[in-house]
């Protein structure tokens, strides 16, 4: 089973994402509300995937992605946002993919990981 850490500063979104992903066969092993917490959880939990919001209160998702890419092994990072314009910026990072929050589902996540 693929393990996931969900990173978003909005608790209702994390709850919704957890339900969608767990219902689709993913194992959500942790949640973080900020970038520094995300880095700490990734270090402790070694998830397969970090589902990472671009806009966070401390350090943004692009910087978190850069730091996670330096890990060995590095988790697959999937950036998320409600804003379409981040898709082009996300493509220039070490992130595996970008998914709009409105389009998030277990199937969408699985498709970008395969």
**CB distance 95 to 78 below 8 Å:** yes
Q: What pLDDT is stored for residue 71 in this prediction?
A: 94
Q: What pLDDT is stored for residue 48 in this prediction?
A: 98
Q: Alpha carbon of 112 to those of 34, 59, 89: distances in Å?
A: 23, 24, 17
**CB distance 13 to 31 below 8 Å:** no
13-20 CB contacts, 8 Å cutoff, 24+ apart: 13/53, 13/101, 17/51, 17/104, 20/104, 20/105, 20/106
The mean per-residue pLDDT over the stretch 64-86 comes to 95
Q: What percent of the chain has pLDDT over 90?
A: 95
The mean per-residue pLDDT over the stretch 101-105 comes to 97
Q: What average pLDDT is seen over the chain?
A: 97
pLDDT in tens, 24-49: 999 999 999 999 999 999 999 999 99
Fold for the domain defined by 3-113: Rossmann fold (3.40.50)
The mean per-residue pLDDT over the stretch 51-67 comes to 97
Q: What pLDDT is stored for residue 33 in this prediction?
A: 98
**Where is 44: in which H helix or E strand?**
helix 35-45
pLDDT band at 110 (very low <50, low <70, confident <90, very high): very high
Q: How many residues does the chain have?
A: 114
């Amino acid at each position: 089973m693929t393990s996931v850490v969900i990173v978003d500063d909005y608790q209702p979104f994390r709850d919704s994402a957890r339900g969608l992903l767990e219902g689709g066969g993913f194992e959500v092993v942790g949640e973080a509300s900020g970038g520094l917490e995300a880095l700490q959880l990734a270090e402790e939990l070694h998830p397969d995937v970090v589902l990472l919001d671009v806009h966070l209160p401390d350090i943004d998702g692009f910087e978190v992605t850069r730091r996670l890419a330096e890990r060995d092994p590095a988790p697959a990072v999937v950036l998320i946002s409600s804003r379409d314009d981040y898709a082009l910026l996300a493509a220039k990072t070490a992130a595996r993919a970008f998914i709009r929050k409105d389009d998030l589902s277990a199937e969408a996540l699985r498709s970008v990981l395969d």
